[in-house]
């Protein structure tokens, strides 16, 4: 076996799995998005018709689709910085030399990520309860009136955001921790000798060293927030007044509530193109920053 | 998952055996009837089954579905060929499940099941001339009103015609405090406008359910009446989510007339204080000229095409439809029985709060039975809300609803042309 052929037997199982469970379904759903697959077609495939770009043009005329798009963009714009900042702060905390009981902290901060979503959602529904919730109780100390977190169209999005941030920061924290441990300690010492304070050391030593990881985490978070579904599904069912309908939730309703799989596939494909575009833009920005 | 606690290894084995999961339901011993029920019904029906199991020798395994996921579950069950033998089905889903050929029409031998039923409810179950489901429990919407406020305004009970009813609402509004209204019609719910529209002689869809008929004079009259209730400040321009606690608001007098179904009776009893209970009652809906219609709701029992033992499955449906069993089920769950004779034995005809539901059901009128109906009626309300808010005139709104309905019915028209729709 030659050197160039040798890797193939090793990677082929993984490639096969990716091809079978990712590439084939992706192509199939692109194909599906040009058909009017619905309950009639579900009963009998003879009832399937090719409709070209009709699914796409109909979506652009659907106000709920734009509402879902707007909500999702809000989630991405507010959620990504929040999660990146929160997980970086947590990573810095558990990485601090002065911190005792480190394993305990790590477990405590990572625990939300590995607990079941539905179970934590139920707990958070209590925490966010208007009258008995701990969150409103705490806000009361600062003289803030109780907020109807899951019942008001303006508070529901922040409420979901808080829950998602709490649920997901642990994973990113682990990635940041790994990166922080690669920052050479000598650089910190040198900076300290030069008179740099904690903020200056973070800004000029830590941050440049972990920049690629910040990019990675933000790309993962963007993709994650674009695909937000389970949290609004469990907490608010898209309500109140459709204020937490995300693109993926809209796709789910289109596909599995109204059973318009053709239209649902079109939504999925638009979402794919959007995530891809945003990721490319992030990479371009990162490249320019590197050159500068 | 029922009572079994899954160990991690069992869960893992389950995940590995995923392809086999679809066939899970078939692993029951022969003679076991698989029965899907939802929400409140799933909670109470097990108490009725031991008697059936003793008499028939068949075991019944109930799977409880939450209402919020039931519709998806039925369709994915159909796609994955894992539907049970018997199921409870919301009335509004029947047309869809019949259209895809998931449910068995009522066999000749079971014809006795369609006797002793409310005509409109039975009509809801009849699609393309065939009966597909057997009504299990029924509901319909009517008005809940404040007896004390109406008495103050000079009325013993709400009048039966639209004009007189509106005059009463004006009288109530004059009695009401500043910022209070007479009636609540949540702007995001289609049921209220649908009720007024059903009271008109014209059907809501035409050409065998292939096109909207919202341009008809009847629908326009209904929409104009609905809109006038907002324009004359008799109803607040609010959606249901803006009113966090309808019972409290009803008791406080924010509105004195509320259109809802039988489930609200229980809510009013349990959520409002005992000394308030004398201050409210129920009455059937007013109509354009005399008592009006309302949409029949509730659930039916169906047998799926893939049932292993159809005879036993129909046996379960027959048992649950017996008037005596229905009366017991009413006592357990509070659901209103589908069979009028069960109303007598359960004493509902003499119940001050429940009797009006019986009268209203006699006058109920089935909504169009096409799979697209739920979507059409949601679009109707989206447009109606914009009409009430002044963005459309009644004529423009009617034309717009027709346009949207025709777009949703495009596939059905094609199916009808091909001769493949019910």
Residue whose tokens read 């209402």: B67
Average pLDDT score over chain B? 90
> Which residue of B lies nearest to A36 if distances are taken between CA atoms?
B411
**Euclidean distance between CA atoms A194 and A164, whole angstroms:** 41
CB contact under 8 A, A39 and B371: yes
Query: Would you state the pLDDT for residue A256?
Result: 84
CB contact under 8 A, A40 and B99: yes
Apex CA A255: angle with CA A254 and CA A261, to 5°?
115
User: Which tokens hold the place of B354?
Assistant: 């429940």
**Euclidean distance between CA atoms B14 and B21, whole angstroms:** 8
Q: What are phi and psi of B23, to 5 degrees?
A: -90, 0
What is the tens place of the pLDDT at every residue in B189-234? 999 999 999 999 999 999 999 999 999 999 999 999 999 999 999 9
The CATH number corresponding to A56-291 among 1.10.3720.10, 3.40.47.10, 1.10.10.10, 1.20.58.1610 equals 1.10.3720.10
**Euclidean distance between CA atoms A288 and B202, whole angstroms:** 67
Determine the average pLDDT of the residues in B64-76.
Answer: 90
Which of A43, A240, A256 lies closest to B72 in CB terms?
Answer: A256
Better pLDDT: B25 or A119: A119
> Which residue of A lies nearest to B245 if distances are taken between CA atoms?
A151
CATH number attached to the domain at B8-139+296-362:
3.40.190.10
**Euclidean distance between CA atoms B335 and B327, whole angstroms:** 9
**Euclidean distance between CA atoms B44 and B236, whole angstroms:** 37
> Which residue of B lies nearest to A44 if distances are taken between CA atoms?
B100
Q: Do domains B8-139+296-362 and B142-294+369-417 have the same CATH topology?
A: yes
**Lowest mean pLDDT across B194-198, B216-220, B235-239, B395-399:** B235-239
The torsion defined by the Cα of B124, B129, B130 and B134, in degrees rounded to 10, comes to 20
Sheet containing B32-38: give its strands across: B59-65, B32-38, B86-90, B296-303, B134-140, B336-337
Q: Is A50 on the interface with B (CB under 8 A)?
A: no
User: Which tokens hold the place of B173?
Assistant: 């509004």
CB contact under 8 A, A151 and B244: yes
Determine the average pLDDT of the residues in B307-328.
Answer: 95
Q: Is B420 on the interface with A (CB under 8 A)?
A: yes
What is the tens place of the pLDDT at every residue in B278-309? 999 999 999 999 999 999 999 999 999 999 99
User: Which tokens hold the place of B405?
Assistant: 């309905």
Cα distances (Å, whole numbers) of residue B279 to A100, B152, B247, B297, B356: 65, 12, 13, 27, 17
Beta-strand relationship, B211-212 and B205-206: antiparallel
Predicted ipTM? 0.73
CB contact under 8 A, A39 and B375: no
Query: Would you state the pLDDT for residue B29?
Result: 63
pLDDT band at B13 (very low <50, low <70, confident <90, very high): very low
Query: Would you state the pLDDT for residue B241?
Result: 65
Q: Is B188 on the interface with A (CB under 8 A)?
A: yes
Q: Is B224 on the interface with A (CB under 8 A)?
A: no
pLDDT band at B2 (very low <50, low <70, confident <90, very high): very low
> Which residue of B lies nearest to A258 if distances are taken between CA atoms?
B375
Taking the model in full, what pTM does it have?
0.80
Beta-strand relationship, B86-90 and B32-38: parallel
Q: How does DSSP classify residue B88?
A: E
Closest CA to B74 of A46, A234, A257, A36: A257
Query: Would you state the pLDDT for residue A1?
Result: 56
CB contact under 8 A, A259 and B75: yes
CB contact under 8 A, B78 and A42: yes
Whether A80 contacts A87, CB under 8 Å: no
B403 CA to chain A: closest CA distance, Å? 13
Residues 118-147 of B with CB under 8 A from A: none
**Euclidean distance between CA atoms A41 and A38, whole angstroms:** 5
Whether A139 contacts A57, CB under 8 Å: no
Cα distances (Å, whole numbers) of residue B184 to A281, B114, B156, B351, B356: 50, 36, 20, 25, 20
Query: Would you state the pLDDT for residue A277?
Result: 92
Strands (E), B148-247: 183-184, 205-206, 211-212
Question: In the predicted model, is pLDDT for residue B26 greater than 90?
Answer: no
Whether A120 contacts A113, CB under 8 Å: no
Percent of chain B with pLDDT over 90: 77
What region, left, alpha or beta, does residue B290 occupy, with left being phi > 0 and alpha being psi -120 to 50 degrees? Answer: left
Q: Is B78 on the interface with A (CB under 8 A)?
A: yes
CB contact under 8 A, B100 and A40: yes
CB contact under 8 A, B76 and A256: yes
Query: Would you state the pLDDT for residue B244?
Result: 66
Fold of the B142-294+369-417 domain: D-Maltodextrin-Binding Protein; domain 2 (3.40.190)
> Which residue of A lies nearest to B80 if distances are taken between CA atoms?
A42
Question: In the predicted model, is pLDDT for residue B261 greater than 90?
Answer: yes
CB contact under 8 A, A42 and B99: no
pLDDT band at B24 (very low <50, low <70, confident <90, very high): very low
Which of B71, B100, B415 lies closest to A257 in CB terms?
Answer: B71
Residue A16 β-bridge partners: none
Residues 214-273 of A with CB under 8 A from B: 237, 239-241, 256-259
CB contact under 8 A, A40 and B96: no
Instruction: Using an 8 Å CB-CB cutoff, list chain B residues near A49.
Output: 414
What is the tens place of the pLDDT at every residue in A6-28? 889 999 999 999 999 989 998 99
**Euclidean distance between CA atoms B378 and B405, whole angstroms:** 10
Domain boundaries, chain B: 8-139+296-362, 142-294+369-417
Query: Would you state the pLDDT for residue B242?
Result: 67
Query: Would you state the pLDDT for residue A250?
Result: 94
Which of A47, A241, A257 lies closest to B72 in CB terms?
Answer: A257
Q: Is B415 on the interface with A (CB under 8 A)?
A: yes
Domain boundaries, chain A: 56-291
B196 CA to chain A: closest CA distance, Å? 24
A279 CA to chain B: closest CA distance, Å? 33
Instruction: Using an 8 Å CB-CB cutoff, list chain B residues near A45.
Output: none
Question: In the predicted model, is pLDDT for residue B11 greater than 60?
Answer: no
**Euclidean distance between CA atoms B307 and A84, whole angstroms:** 53
What is the tens place of the pLDDT at every residue in A152-191? 778 889 999 999 999 999 999 999 999 999 999 899 899 9
User: End-to-end CA distance of chain A, in Å?
Assistant: 45
Residues 54-113 of A with CB under 8 A from B: none
**Euclidean distance between CA atoms A203 and A276, whole angstroms:** 30
**Euclidean distance between CA atoms B184 and B168, whole angstroms:** 14
Whether B402 contacts B409, CB under 8 Å: no
Percent of chain A with pLDDT over 70: 99
- Any long-range contacts for B337-344 (C-beta under 8 Å, 24+ apart)? B337/B137, B337/B138, B338/B117, B338/B118, B338/B121, B338/B134, B338/B135, B338/B136, B338/B137, B338/B138, B338/B298, B339/B116, B339/B117, B339/B135, B340/B116, B340/B117, B340/B118, B341/B116
Which among A47, A152, A243, A254 is the top mutation candidate for probing chain B, defined by the most B β-carbons within 10 Å of its own β-carbon? A47
Question: In the predicted model, is pLDDT for residue B14 greater than 70?
Answer: no
Determine the average pLDDT of the residues in A135-158.
Answer: 87
What is the tens place of the pLDDT at every residue in B326-346? 999 999 998 999 999 999 999
Determine the average pLDDT of the residues in A228-253.
Answer: 87
Query: Would you state the pLDDT for residue B19?
Result: 43
Beta-strand relationship, B134-140 and B296-303: antiparallel
Average pLDDT score over chain A? 90
**Lowest mean pLDDT across A29-38, A144-153, B218-227:** A144-153
Question: In the predicted model, is pLDDT for residue B92 greater than 80?
Answer: yes
What is the tens place of the pLDDT at every residue in B94-153? 999 999 999 999 999 999 999 999 999 999 999 989 999 999 999 999 999 999 999 999
B406 CA to chain A: closest CA distance, Å? 14
**Euclidean distance between CA atoms B379 and B408, whole angstroms:** 10
Residues 356-375 of B with CB under 8 A from A: 371, 375
Residue B142 β-bridge partners: B260
Which among A21, A65, A242, A258 is the top mutation candidate for probing chain B, defined by the most B β-carbons within 10 Å of its own β-carbon? A258
Determine the average pLDDT of the residues in B57-78.
Answer: 91
Helix (H) or strand (E) holding B64: strand B59-65
Rg of chain A (C-alpha set): 23
What is the tens place of the pLDDT at every residue in B367-383? 999 999 988 998 899 89
Q: Is B93 on the interface with A (CB under 8 A)?
A: no
**Euclidean distance between CA atoms A56 and A234, whole angstroms:** 28
């Amino acid at each position: 076996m030659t050197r160039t052929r040798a890797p193939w037997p090793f990677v082929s199982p993984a490639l096969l799995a990716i091809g079978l469970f990712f590439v084939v379904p992706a192509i199939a759903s692109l194909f599906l998005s040009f058909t009017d697959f619905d309950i009639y077609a579900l009963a009998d495939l003879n009832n399937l018709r090719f409709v070209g770009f009709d699914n796409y043009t109909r979506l652009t005329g659907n106000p709920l689709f734009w509402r879902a798009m707007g909500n999702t963009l809000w989630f991405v714009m507010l959620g990504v910085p929040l999660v990146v900042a929160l997980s970086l702060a947590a990573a810095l905390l558990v990485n601090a030399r002065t911190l005792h009981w480190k394993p305990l902290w790590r477990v405590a901060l990572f625990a939300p990520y590995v607990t079941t979503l539905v179970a934590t959602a139920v707990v958070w529904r209590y925490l966010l309860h208007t009258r008995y919730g701990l969150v409103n109780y705490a806000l009361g100390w600062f003289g803030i009136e109780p907020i109807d977190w899951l019942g008001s169209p303006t508070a529901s999005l922040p409420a979901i955001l808080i829950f998602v941030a709490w649920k997901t920061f642990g994973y990113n924290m682990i990635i940041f921790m790994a990166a922080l441990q690669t920052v050479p300690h000598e650089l910190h010492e040198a900076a300290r000798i030069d008179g740099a304070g904690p903020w200056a050391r973070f800004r000029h030593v830590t941050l440049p060293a972990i920049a690629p990881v910040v990019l990675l985490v933000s790309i993962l978070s963007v993709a994650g927030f674009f695909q937000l579904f389970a949290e609004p599904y469990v907490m608010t069912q898209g309500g109140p007044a459709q204020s937490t309908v995300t693109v993926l939730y809209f796709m789910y309703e289109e596909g599995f509530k109204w059973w318009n799989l053709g239209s649902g596939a079109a939504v999925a494909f638009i979402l794919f193109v959007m995530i891809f575009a945003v990721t490319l833009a992030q990479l371009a920005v990162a490249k320019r920053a590197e050159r500068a | 998952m029922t009572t079994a606690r899954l160990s991690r290894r069992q869960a893992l084995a389950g995940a590995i055996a995923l392809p086999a999961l679809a066939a899970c339901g078939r692993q029951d011993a022969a003679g076991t009837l698989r029965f899907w029920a939802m929400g409140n019904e799933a909670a109470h029906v097990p108490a009725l089954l031991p008697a059936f199991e003793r008499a028939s020798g068949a075991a019944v395994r109930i799977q409880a579905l939450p209402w919020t996921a039931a519709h998806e579950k039925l369709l994915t069950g159909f796609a994955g060929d894992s539907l049970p033998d018997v199921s409870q089905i919301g009335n509004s889903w029947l047309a869809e499940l019949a259209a895809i050929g998931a449910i068995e029409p009522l066999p000749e031998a079971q014809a006795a099941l369609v006797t002793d039923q409310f005509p409109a409810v039975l009509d809801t179950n009849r699609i393309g001339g065939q009966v597909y489901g057997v009504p299990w429990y029924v509901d319909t919407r009517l008005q809940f009103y404040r007896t004390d406020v109406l008495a103050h305004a000079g009325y013993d009970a709400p009048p039966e015609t639209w004009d007189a009813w509106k005059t009463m609402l004006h009288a109530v509004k004059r009695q009401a405090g500043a910022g209070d209204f007479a009636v609540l019609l949540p702007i995001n719910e289609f049921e209220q406008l649908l009720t007024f529209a059903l009271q008109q002689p014209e059907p809501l869809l035409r050409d065998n359910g292939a096109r909207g008929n919202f341009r008809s004079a009847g629908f326009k009259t209904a929409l104009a009446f609905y809109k006038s209730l907002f324009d004359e400040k008799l109803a607040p321009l609010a959606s249901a989510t803006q009113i966090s606690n309808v019972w409290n608001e009803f008791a406080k007098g924010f509105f004195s007339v509320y259109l809802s179904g039988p489930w609200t009776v229980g809510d009013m009893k349990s959520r409002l204080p005992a000394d308030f209970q004398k201050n409210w009652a129920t009455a059937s809906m007013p109509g354009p000229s005399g008592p009006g219609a309302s949409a029949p709701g509730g659930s039916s029992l169906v047998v799926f095409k893939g049932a292993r033992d159809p005879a036993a499955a129909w046996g379960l449906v027959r048992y649950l439809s017996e008037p005596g069993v229905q009366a017991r089920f009413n006592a357990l769950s509070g659901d209103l029985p589908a069979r009028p004779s069960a109303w007598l034995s359960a004493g509902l005809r003499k119940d001050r709060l429940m009797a009006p539901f019986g009268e209203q059901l006699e006058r109920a009128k089935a909504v169009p039975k096409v799979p697209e109906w739920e979507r059409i009626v949601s679009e109707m309300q989206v447009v109606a809300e914009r009409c009430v808010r002044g963005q459309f005139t009644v004529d423009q709104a009617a034309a717009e609803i027709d346009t949207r309905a025709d777009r949703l019915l495009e596939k059905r028209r094609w199916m009808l042309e091909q001769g493949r729709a019910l």
